[in-house]
Amino acid sequence: MTTYSANEFINDSAASATAIAIGKKVNNGVISISIPGDGSALYTLPEYFRDQGLSTGLVATIYITHATPAAFGAHESSRNNTDEIGQDYFTQTKSNLLLGGEEMG
């Protein structure tokens, strides 16, 4: 699997995590939405498993609205839409478990 973005030679974590969660390339900064493309939400692995009747969850050592975990549980045109990413977890992907960490710095 390759995880480079659709629009840049050097990718960011939003595009690379989306490539892993979806299997499609998106532009840097995009969270599981078809950009380039029609802007529609892309079907993530947790959504697939949820629709199979299984429980799903996201566990991260970084805050849960960071681009990397967000690619598995949200659909946003920008990785900076952290409030919307948080809402997506509850209104779109509806994971059974969300555990996030704290950014140390």
Active site residues: 13
Cβ-Cβ contacts under 8 Å for 38 (sequence gap 6 or more): none
User: ω before 36 within 30° of 0 (cis)?
Assistant: yes
35, 79 contact by CB (below 8 A) = no
- 23 near 10, Cβ under 8 Å? no
- 53-64 burial, b if ≥16 CB within 10 A, otherwise e? eeebebebeeeb
42 secondary structure, DSSP code: P
